[in-house]
Amino acid sequence: MFKIILLLSAFFITNEISIGEISFNIVTKGTSDRRYIWLHGDEQTAKMALENHMRHNQGVAYFINNDRREVLVAGVMIDPNRIFSSVGAKKNMQKYNPQWPSKKKRAILYAMDQDRENFLNTIFPENGEVLIALHNNFKGYNVNQELAKSDTVSIKKDQNPRDFFLCTNRNDFEILSKSPYNVVLQESYPAKDDGSLSWAAVKWGVRYVNIETRLGWLSMQKRMLKYVNENLP
């Protein structure tokens, strides 16, 4: 579902796209098909980094309309980075809402299933471009928790493990592994899809990079985003 809601300037046009009842503002600048996405409303450092980036660079950015980590859909709570497969969305709804009637959860899941392919077709870039996601962590999550799911890694001894790149394309990994930052490659589709955007990118054969940093470390996230944007083709 699309809706033109605001004309910001000659360079920025904001539209809206939804999957089920979860909506994102779309900000477009210039003609580049490079894509960016901010998924968790409580990760404000990531939002600020992306807003700053879009002031100075071309591309298409998607900002979730939410100020919390989880979103409420018809009163049912769900993590917006667990909605990109039917199996993952179903499991996540059950995790947060075990008390809700199955009929209600099935209705919400059906609505997401109806929208998902069109949503992914819209946010995924064409012609081999990359989708860059920005995330923050604040509860101890770090790159070491991704090692078992990764095909290969490049861990820097002098870098905090909570700051890292996660990518789905081997050529991107080879480039990012030469950076000062931690990076993991996850190019093999898992036996259990948790509904995250990275696994959807793998399934669809899309280049995807997540820039993960500690919440509040804006300068680090800006530097990492700058490195990705300037070094990936």
Residue with tokens 């920025």, as numbered in its chain: 12
Tens-of-pLDDT digits for all 233 residues of the chain? 444 333 344 446 568 999 999 999 999 999 999 999 999 999 999 999 999 999 999 999 999 999 999 999 988 999 999 999 999 999 999 999 999 898 988 999 999 999 999 999 999 999 999 999 999 998 889 999 999 999 999 999 999 999 999 999 999 999 999 999 999 999 999 999 999 999 999 999 999 999 999 999 999 999 999 999 999 99
Predicted model pTM: 0.93
CB neighbour list of residue 157: distance below 8 Å, 6 or more residues apart = none
| Strand residues in the chain grouped as ranges (E) | 2-7, 13-19, 22-29, 35-38, 59-64, 71-73, 76-78, 130-137, 152-154, 164-167, 182-185, 207-214
Enumerate domains of the chain plus CATH numbers.
Answer: 2-228 (3.40.630)
